[in-house]
Structure formats: structure tokens, C-alpha cells
Amino acid sequence: MLIGVFLLGSFYGLSKIPVQTLNVDRWSVITSFWETYFSGEYAYFAKANTGNPPGPMPFYFILAFPFYALGELGLFSLLGIVVFYLLLKYSKIQNHIITATLLLLFISTFYLWEIFSRSNVFINSVLVLFSIVYFNKEDELTMKRIIVTGILTGLLMSTRNVFAIPYIISFLFAWRTGRINFGKLVLLGTIAVLIFGATFLPFVIGHFQDFKTMNPFLVQYTFLIPFGYTIAFILLAVLLGLRCNKVENVYFFSGLTLFITIAVYFVYHFVNKGFDETYFGSVGDVSYFILSVQFLLYHSINKLTPRMETALPKAV
């Protein structure tokens, strides 16, 4: 009932806030990407209404396509609260905790901003969290679960590369605790890499030279922050993954590392461009902090839920 009321209120708000009045260009990045693609041109040569190139990986745009086709990308943003609710039900979180969590999100300014600005950081991050919870759900890691996790990892890594951080932490924890052996971990990684690469094919075939000139790796690793910082963030994720001793720590360390990553990115631009240009001029995108919210919130929910497992999973 709460979700229904919230969705109706959000539909009304979306109808009153035209995308043309927004300073946030994520809706325009998606729209221009698909318009360029369907015109037969190389999709990553698209430009948003602000002049920004498409930065995300291909599956980011594929996920958003149904809502682009419907003409309202705010519905994609709204899907985040529904998926997070389903995640809590899947995790068998107690109903009163689910209700309190939903109420907290309903009055959170970051999520209201996310919806009405047609942003999609929350939904993408929730999907990554869901895939990691699925991987850690059962003590016995079956071959089916390994294959499905590999597919989900490949697809969701093809949204934003920063999601490598929670996957590294989760998989290293599973390997260190004996839940998955090295051979199965290699299998999972191979599936993920193949699926990740396959998501590029519809957009790169016929445009290989264009891909060398402009691609999401170039945008994410040079336009946002120097590549050397990315290596440092990956090393931090590896260190924390090897220090995890509880499943719950996977979610906490993932949220913490994502938060640190965005904080360093923001400070980097603050030092180079100044605070006014970074914050008010949007050189640094403060909304990226939303990437960490779901992981930290889910970790807090686990601590409030006595039925959750706290011991190391059984080795296989």
C-alpha cells in the first residue's frame, strides 16, 4: 500500500516536471544514445543536451531502453524502490523493518531527487546488490548459481565499471573462506567477461574505428578521474575482500569502498577546479554518492535482523 501511494505521488510529480527544465542530463544521455544508434551512426558519438558524451557501458542503455521507448525515464528511476523491496522480501527481512526502510527511502531527498531528475544511480546499484545477495544466499554454491552469477555480473558490470568494487570484495571473500574454489571462480569470471564483451557487439560492429576514438572506458577512466586512482580503488577492494570474515561485511566494505571512491573523485576535482566549480558547476557529480547507499543500508538492515546468518558459510 505504501509503495502504491508513493508510486502514484511520483507519477503526478513526473507529470509536472518536464525533462527540459532539468539541469541533470542523464535522461538526455540515454535519449541521444538511442537516437544516434537508430539513425545508423555510432552510438557513443552521441551528445547530451549539455554536450556530455555517453559515459556508461552498453547494458546501462539496454536496461533503460523500455522506458526510453515509453517516453518517461522517470519510471526507470521509480523501479529502484520496487526492486529494493523485492530484495528485502527475497532476503526474508522482517516486515516491520521493511516498512521502516521504505518509509526512510520515501522521505529521503536523494531518492526524490533521483526520481524527478530522471536519474538511475539507485536502480543500477540495487541490481548489483541483488546479484551479490543472490550469490551469497545459500551455503551451497551450486553450478547453476555460479553460472547465473557470472551472467548477472557480466551484464551489470556493463553499466558502470565502478561496480567491479563490490564484485571483487564478494568473490574474494567467497574464495578466501572456501565457499568457492579457484577453478569455479575462474569459470565464473570467464562467463562474466564473455557476457560483458557480448553487450558491446550490437554497438561496435561496423564501428570498430569509431570505438577506438570514443568509448565508455575512455570516458570513465580519463574524463572522470585519472586511471591511477582507479587502480588504487581496485587494490583497496582487494584488501578489504581478503579481510572479510562475515557475509555482512561484504555489504559494509562494498558500501564503504564505493563511498571512499566517490569522495576521492570529488576531492580530486575540488583541488583542481575549486569548490564552486566542482559543486555548483557540477564538475564533480555529488549524486554518485548514491552508489554506496544501498550497500550500507542493507548492511544496517542485516544487523537489525537476528535471523540473518553471521557465521562464515560452509566450505565446499
Single pTM value for the model? 0.92
Query: For residue 53, what pLDDT is reported?
Result: 87
The predicted-structure confidence for 2-34, as pLDDT tens digits, reads as follows 999 999 999 999 999 998 888 888 999 999 999
Do 24 and 52 contact (CB within 8 A), yes or no?
no
Reading the block at residue 131, the C-alpha cell is: 546479484
- Torsion sign across C-alpha atoms 166, 170, 175, 177: positive
Above 50 in pLDDT, residue 313? no
Query: For residue 205, what pLDDT is reported?
Result: 93
Do 151 and 131 contact (CB within 8 A), yes or no?
no
| Structure confidence at residue 311 as a pLDDT band (50, 70, 90) | very low
For residues 154 and 161, give the distance between their C-alpha atoms in angstroms, rounded to a whole number.
Answer: 11
Query: For residue 222, what pLDDT is reported?
Result: 65
Average predicted confidence (pLDDT) for the chain? 90
Query: For residue 238, what pLDDT is reported?
Result: 95
Q: Phi/psi class of residue 253: alpha, beta or left (left: φ > 0; alpha: ψ in -120 to 50)?
A: alpha
